[in-house]
Amino acid sequence: MSDFFTMMERLQALLDSPDIEVVTTDGRRVRGRIDNLRSTQPFSKPAVKVKSADGQITKILFSEISDLIDHRP
């Protein structure tokens, strides 16, 4: 999608949203709320965890994100 800092900025702006959708480069769509942003852990790739309505947590690497959609009313 874009560089690390732009991605962090966009994701942090969506932290309060209860209903976001992350679209990955392979076409997967994950909808829910941001559960965790992992960006500064040593030896790990930047990733976001999204918790869906049914409680399932999906980890998505920043490099796999192609779009972020905010479904807030």
Show the domains of the chain with their CATH numbers.
4-70 (2.30.30.100)
The helix (run of H) or strand (run of E) holding residue 25 is none
Given a cut of 60, whether residue 42 has pLDDT beyond it is: yes
Given a cut of 90, whether residue 16 has pLDDT beyond it is: no
For the whole model, what pTM was predicted? 0.84
Q: What is the mean pLDDT of residues 20-41?
A: 88
Given a cut of 90, whether residue 54 has pLDDT beyond it is: yes
At 3, the pLDDT band (50, 70, 90 cuts) reads confident
Q: What is the mean pLDDT of residues 10-35?
A: 93
Instruction: Go through 38-54 and write b for each residue having 16 or more CB atoms within 10 A of its CB, e for each that does not.
Output: ebeeeeeebbbbbeeee
